[in-house]
Structure formats: structure tokens, C-alpha cells
Structure 1
Amino acid sequence: MSPYLRPPIPLYGADFAADPQTVYAALRRYGQVAPVELAPGVGAYLVVGYRAALDLLHDTATWSKDSRVWQQSLPPDCPVLPMLMWRPNPLSNDGPAHQRYRQAIIDAFAMIEPHELRAGTARAADTLIRRFAATGSADLVADYARPVPLLLFNQLCGVPEEHHDRLVAPLAAMVEATSPDQANRAGADFLAYVTELVARKQRHRGPDLVSWLLDHPAGLSTEEVADQVLLTLAAGNEPTANLISNALSRMLSDDRYYSSLAGGALTAWDAVHDVLRNEPPMANFGAHFPRHAVDFHGVRIEAHELVLVSYAAANTTPDGLPPGPRTDGGAHLAWSAGPHACPVKNPALLIATTAIEQLTSQLCDLELTIPRNQLPWRPGPFHTALAHLPVTFTPVPPEPAPWPR
């Protein structure tokens, strides 16, 4: 029986969040491509095989990133629309439009020197560590992993500090949304945040990503700048937070990593790459739409139907190798591939490893309060994200105030 004749497997709810690998194993029985549901009544095809994923990601003649025809078949309050709807950015466009938007983002990030990015990440990390270091316990998701990229990207975009917290809730709700009300509210809040930010930068330029996009030679309109900022903030915060927390959970539950805090063989870099292969922060994404009906790895897919790439399933396709960290990091698609591969993966790696190193160097006896296999995971079809990462450690008193002169 062909996969498209079988009932779709849901990628939402607590069961999928708690054990996605069991779901991916079931999907592989369908073949390289399987039918799924992203939300109640919202179907899609999911590419779960590594070879099929590469075939799709490199074939721009057959596959388009433009979702506008597909969107017409959905109600305007569909909960996955904020994540998958067409926007004037590199994620949703092909050809010259894609290259124009992509180059603007690449050039804006090129204005940030790596040492400045590392220093900015360290400052954000130190700010957060000081808030809980004296308590002896923390939730490293809520208290650290999620706010680190938030503080950093707000710095990079020139956002006033009093506005920092407005970004967390809508980003999380967009990724997790299963109800129309939740999705619409999150999308509206996020758009309002970015619109206000771009308007401020139109009035007062600065040495920041938004100003550089406004002044880029591509001549982006105000609306186009807002959409590049939307993409930058969404892609820079949620996946980076998940990468940090997932890597920390591995380091704190595996003695090969934990010993590295005292000079062992495995480092934060190893943990990050282990996560990218086995628990990629964006597990199922990379929306594509066939330009015409196509027979793809044994499945008939009609024009403009939604097809997602499961980076998580493709990365963990059984290969006969033992589980666990690999010295080469293992072949993976966490950054996607082809012309739409992540254009700023090196900054993302630098941010994640710096954040982890700052934390583990200052709080060197971190311990999970519950076993890793009991940690709760956030629901949602698109990500691999811990809900909480509770730890204890020896309290570190705040630094004394400088002696008066």
C-alpha cells in the first residue's frame, strides 16, 4: 500500500513530544515519505529518509518554497500558518527574490565580528547567571537557555532593555500553537513587536542588524525589512535556546561530558554537535511545495501540497553505527542543505557553545534533579524542545561591591 493511502500520523500532543523517535520509527515503515498531521485536520507529507531529504533540498526545479497556493486551502485561523505562511523573506521565496533577501541577512551578520558576538553572548550569559547563582538551583530552560539568545539578539537589534521580555511568549506560542486563538495572538504580538522596532530604527539608526538591513544596497522596503527581522529573531531565538538546553541536558547526564568540566575529552562543542545530529532544535521544517504533480520516492504528491523535511528522522536513520557522540559529529541535516541551508550557522554555533561554556565554567558542579529520561518536552510538530531543565549546584555568592575610594 502506498503511504498516501494510509492514515496520517499526528506530530502534535504529549505523546509525540515525549517520544518522537518512536513516531519516526513508525513513519519509516511507510518508506522515505510518510503522511502526517501537523494540527487537527492539517495534513502534510514528511520526508523521513536522509537520501530523499537531500534529493528534495537540492532540486529547485521540482520544489518551490512559495506557500501561497497551499495557504488558500486553509482557514485563516489555521494554527500552523504563523510558522508556514508566505512572507517576503528567504525562507518563503525562490530564485532572485530568495537570493536578494538571503544576501541582505548574510551581509548584516557579516558586520558583527566573531569576537564581538562571543563577548555579547558572554555578557548576556553573565547577566543571567548572576540572577540565580546564589540560590543553588535553577531551571536552565526558563532561567538560562531561552533568555540567553533573547538578550543577545535584542542587543544585536538595538532593542531597549525594557522591551526584552515581550519577545519570549509570542515566539514560544507560535512554535507550539495547536489552537487558532493561540496562533493568531502569538503572530499578532510578534508582528507588533517587530513593527515597532523597525519604526524606531527608521527614526534613529544605530550599529545594529535592523539599521544595517534598512540601509542595505538591496533597497529593502520597510515591510521587507520587518520580515527579515521577523525571520532573524524567530530563527535566532527559539532554535538556539533549544540547542543550548538540549546540549546541557546531555552534558549533565553523561559522565563523558560531565568529566569534561574538569578537563575530560568531550566538550561543549561535542555536545552541541551530538544534539544537532540526534535532537535537532528544529526537528520537522523546511516546507516545500511541488511545482507540479510528482512521484517522489514512491509517493504521488500533487502540485502545491505541503511537504516538510524531518531533519530529526533523516539524521537518525539507522546506519549500523553505535549510538552516542561521534568524533566527526555524524552527517546531519540540522542546518538543512542546498540553496536554503542556514546562512548563519557559524554565529549560531558560536552563541550556543559560548553560552554553555560560560555556565559550566562558573557553576562547575551542576546536577540534574531528575533523570534525563524523565525530563518534560514541549509539544509541537516543528521543534525538539525541553520544557524544563531543573538543576542544583553549590551556591555562588554575588561578587562583593568594589571598595570605596
Structure 2
Amino acid sequence: MPLYTGEYTRDPMRVFQQMREKYGSMAPIELAPGVPATLVLGYHTAVRILQDPEHFPADPRIWQETVPADSPVRPAMEWCPNARRNTGAEHRRYRQAYTSSIDQIDLHSLHGTVAAIATPLINEFCETGSADLTAQYVFPIVFQMLNELVGCPPHLGQRIAAGMAAVSDSGDNGAEAFAVIEEALRALVRLRRENPDGNVASWMAQHPSRLDDTELLHQLFDFYGAGVEPLHNLIANALLLVIDDQRFGGSVVGGNLSTRDAIDEVLFENPPIANLCMSYPRQPVLVDRYWLPAHQPVLISMAACNNDPAVAGGDRIGNRSHLAWGSGSHACPARSVAYLIAQEAVDQLLDAVPEMELATSREKLDWRPGPFARSLASLPVTFPPSPPLPIP
């Protein structure tokens, strides 16, 4: 079953249900034409795989030799020297440098940083009575926040942003877009080697793991890659929920439910990354009476697993058992940072413009195609115009 069709883009949950009915806890899929994989739909099966890196390593090097260089999914999946694409000792080395640097981020300062970025963005559209929140608010606030955390100056950040946008479009220029990002990151590596400061790039450069320039570049590449798309989609999908869903809209604005509750609902029902956590078994593996081929991608569908009938149901308020952050040795190490940035970004906008409505019906919203992310192409809203906010 292909994950690159309009049918999947319009209603992935319906496609997941069809897969579940036909195949059970795992389904054969195509990520792109001629690129087969297995998609895990069952929650308990996913946890088993995520907790077993010995049988399900993340190293794709043998697989990628079988994939055409111009395949649209290859640039996002091929091997590189970072924690997500390695196993064993190299994974631990990269992971230690990555997590140690993220753990040094001052969570208490994030509120003020988000507010300082959000206010000028809101002021650009608050008097007009309408906005495309993805383009005018969500993407710029996410990217500026990541630049701030990583220690990336604006002139390099703009080049990285342009490359990331091209990659997200899933077009034929994926390799070219990655080259643009790589060139900018090489300049950032040189900058932080020569001028270390209190930021993620500097902490990684100074870590006892002694990353060389190429390794440091790829840790930073992963910081952006694992930050921009998921965080952008999380904030946009949370805003859609708050604006359009009566269960949350009035409750969040009125104070009965927290923004954190709305974010957790999104992580369950409409996670920002629908399918990811790739692994590549070294030999055929029997799981749930299904033989998984050697050296072929196995992807976890966080969206399908979170809504597996075997575990779904009941009130999810306060429940954080979803798999949106992954699990096991490759679980997201920045979930606390992501939670706080997403919550503050939503709260800043709701405080400034509390009476937003969709400018079109939910059914007419456009979602970007692709097998991995669940991402709105735009989020048009209308609201009563309001005066600019004071700059903090």
C-alpha cells in the first residue's frame, strides 16, 4: 500500500484502518515508487521493536545500496554519522554528545525567549484580522527558536531555513537542498569551534566524545532535522485543534483544560510525525507471524499505534503513553524542550488573538504529501483585529 498517494495524504487514518483490517499489526507498504518497507500498526509490536535495537538496528547502509540515488526518500533516510542512523558503540558516542548538550539548555529561560520571538511575529498580522499561521507564525517561531538554542547567526539560519523548506516539499531537488544545508552548517561548525558560547553547537564541539567537524555537522543537522519539522507540525496541529475542535477550543481558552492537554491530544490523535523510527533487520525476523525481510526498512507508525484499538479508548487527559516521541535507545532526547516551546508558542498566540476561526472548512485544509510527516501546508484564520503588543 503506497504512502505517497493523494488518498493517503487526505485521510491517513482511513488508510491505516484498511491496512489493519487486511494485514493486522504490520503491513507491507511503499515509501516511494519501488521502495518497499514494512509499517508497524500495533502498539505492543511497536514497543517490542523499539526496545530491541539488537534485532532492529538503525543503520541503513546495506539497504541504501539497493535504492536509486534519485529516490525522493533516500536523502532523508540514508546513513550519516549521527545517533539516529547508527547502532552500538557509535550510537552511544553520538547520543551522549547530543543528549548532554540538550540537557544544558536552560528550560526556565525558554518562556522569555519564545515571547521575545513571538511578539514581533504576532504584531505583523494582529491588526489585519487574518493570517496564515503556518507561514507567518509557526515556521518562523520554530526556526528562530532553534537558531537561538543552537547558536546560529541569522545569515546562516536563513540558508538552513531555505534548505529545510525545500527538503520538506519532498520534491526532486532533495539532494540539492541537503547540500545547501550542509554548506551553511559547515560555516556554523567553524564559527563555534573558533567562538564557543553557551549554546548547543558549542557544547557539542566541546563534548568529551571529541566529535570531528563532519560528525559535529551531522549532529547539528539532526538537531534541525529532528526539531524543525516535528515542532512545526506539533504547534500547527495543536492550533488547529484549539481553534476548530469544541472539546478543546473553549476549554483551553477558558482555562478548563491546559494547552499541555491539547498538545498531548495532538500527540495521540494527529502526531506531527506519523511514520518514522526506521530500523533495518540484519536477517529475516519473525514478528507476529510475519517475516520481516533482511535489510528492508521497518517503520513505526506512531499515528496508527497510538490509535490501535488494543490500547485506545477512554479519557486521555493527562495520559502520555503515546509513541510520538519514540521509545527505547533512540527516543527523542529533547521532549521537554519541545513541550515547552510548543506550549509557549500556542499560549502566546492565544493570549494575543483569542478569537480565531478557520478561514475555510477543516475539510478544505491542505496537507503536505509525504510518507513521514503529518503537516499542514497552510492554516488560514480570521479574527477581530487587535492592536500591536508591547515588545518584551
TM range (shorter): over 0.9
Report the Cα distance in structure 1 between the residues aligned to 2:330 and 2:175, rounded to whole angstroms.
27
Report the Cα distance in structure 2 between the residues aligned to 1:173 and 1:75, rounded to whole angstroms.
20
Does residue 13 (structure 1) correspond to residue 13 (structure 2)? The answer is no
Distance 1:19 1:204, change over 3 A: same
Tell me if structure 1 keeps the 8 A contact 2:261–2:318.
Answer: no
Report the Cα distance in structure 1 between the residues aligned to 2:10 and 2:83, rounded to whole angstroms.
32
User: Which amino acid in the other structure matches residue 117 of structure 1?
Assistant: L
Report the Cα distance in structure 1 between the residues aligned to 2:68 and 2:245, rounded to whole angstroms.
46
Which has the higher mean CA deviation after the structures are superposed, 187-196 or 224-233? 187-196
Among 327, 341, 347, the residue aligned to 1:351: 341
Q: Runs in 1 of length 4+ with deviation above 6 angstroms? A: none
The 3-state SS of whatever aligns with 1:295 is: strand
Report the Cα distance in structure 1 between the residues aligned to 2:145 and 2:233, rounded to whole angstroms.
15
Does residue 398 (structure 1) correspond to residue 388 (structure 2)? The answer is yes
Q: Deviations over 1:302-354 (max 9, x none)?
A: 3211111111111111248658x622335311011111111111111011001
Tell me if structure 1 keeps the 8 A contact 2:279–2:297.
Answer: yes
Instruction: Show the 5 A alignment for 1:275-354.
Output: 275-319=266-310, 326-329=316-319, 331-354=321-344
Q: Which residue is 2:221 aligned to?
A: 230
User: Which amino acid in the other structure matches residue 62 of structure 1?
Assistant: H
Tell me if structure 1 keeps the 8 A contact 2:285–2:292.
Answer: yes
Q: Over aligned residue pairs, what C-alpha RMSD do you find?
A: 1.8
The 3-state SS of whatever aligns with 2:214 is: helix
Which has the higher mean CA deviation after the structures are superposed, 64-73 or 102-111? 102-111
Report the Cα distance in structure 2 between the residues aligned to 1:355 and 1:106, rounded to whole angstroms.
23
Tell me if structure 2 keeps the 8 A contact 1:176–1:381.
Answer: no
User: Which amino acid in the other structure matches residue 319 of structure 2?
Assistant: G
Which has the higher mean CA deviation after the structures are superposed, 16-25 or 199-208? 199-208
Q: Which residue is 1:193 aligned to?
A: 184
Which has the higher mean CA deviation after the structures are superposed, 204-213 or 254-263? 254-263
Q: Which residue is 2:210 aligned to?
A: 219
User: Which amino acid in the other structure matches residue 182 of structure 2?
Assistant: L
The 3-state SS of whatever aligns with 2:116 is: helix
Tell me if structure 1 keeps the 8 A contact 2:234–2:263.
Answer: yes
Q: Deviations over 1:112-135 (max 9, x none)?
A: 211112221222212211221121
Q: Which residue is 2:113 aligned to?
A: 120
Report the Cα distance in structure 2 between the residues aligned to 1:208 and 1:400, rounded to whole angstroms.
28
Q: Deviations over 1:272-298 (max 9, x none)?
A: 101101111111111101121112222
Instruction: Work out the number of aligned pairs and report it.
Output: 390
Q: Which residue is 1:3 aligned to?
A: none
Does residue 377 (structure 1) correspond to residue 367 (structure 2)? The answer is yes
Report the Cα distance in structure 2 between the residues aligned to 1:173 and 1:313, rounded to whole angstroms.
27
Tell me if structure 1 keeps the 8 A contact 2:253–2:350.
Answer: no
Distance 1:304 1:85, change over 3 A: same
Q: CA deviation at 1:80?
A: 0.9
Does residue 27 (structure 1) correspond to residue 19 (structure 2)? The answer is yes
Does residue 271 (structure 1) correspond to residue 262 (structure 2)? The answer is yes
How much identity, in percent, do the aligned residues show? Answer: 40
Report the Cα distance in structure 2 between the residues aligned to 1:204 and 1:321, rounded to whole angstroms.
50
For structure 1, the residue ranges without an aligned partner over 5 or more in a row are: 1-8
Q: CA deviation at 1:60?
A: 2.0
Q: Which residue is 2:61 aligned to?
A: 68
The 3-state SS of whatever aligns with 2:174 is: helix
The 3-state SS of whatever aligns with 1:146 is: helix
User: Which amino acid in the other structure matches residue 186 of structure 1?
Assistant: A
Q: Which residue is 1:154 aligned to?
A: 147
Instruction: Show the 5 A alignment for 1:165-204.
Output: 165-179=158-172, 182-204=173-195
Q: Deviations over 1:121-174 (max 9, x none)?
A: 222212211221121111111111111110011112222223433333422332
Q: Deviations over 1:356-401 (max 9, x none)?
A: 0010011111111122232111111000111111111122223589
Q: Which residue is 2:89 aligned to?
A: 96
Distance 1:286 1:400, change over 3 A: closer
Does residue 46 (structure 1) correspond to residue 36 (structure 2)? The answer is no
The 3-state SS of whatever aligns with 1:10 is: coil
Report the Cα distance in structure 1 between the residues aligned to 2:390 and 2:103, rounded to whole angstroms.
38
Q: TM-score, normalised by structure 2?
A: 0.95
Does residue 55 (structure 1) correspond to residue 57 (structure 2)? The answer is no
Q: CA deviation at 1:10?
A: 0.8
Q: Deviations over 1:245-293 (max 9, x none)?
A: 0000000012232223542412211111011011111111111011211
Q: TM-score, normalised by structure 1?
A: 0.92
The 3-state SS of whatever aligns with 1:63 is: coil
Tell me if structure 2 keeps the 8 A contact 1:128–1:144.
Answer: yes
Distance 1:320 1:296, change over 3 A: closer
Which has the higher mean CA deviation after the structures are superposed, 298-307 or 253-262? 253-262
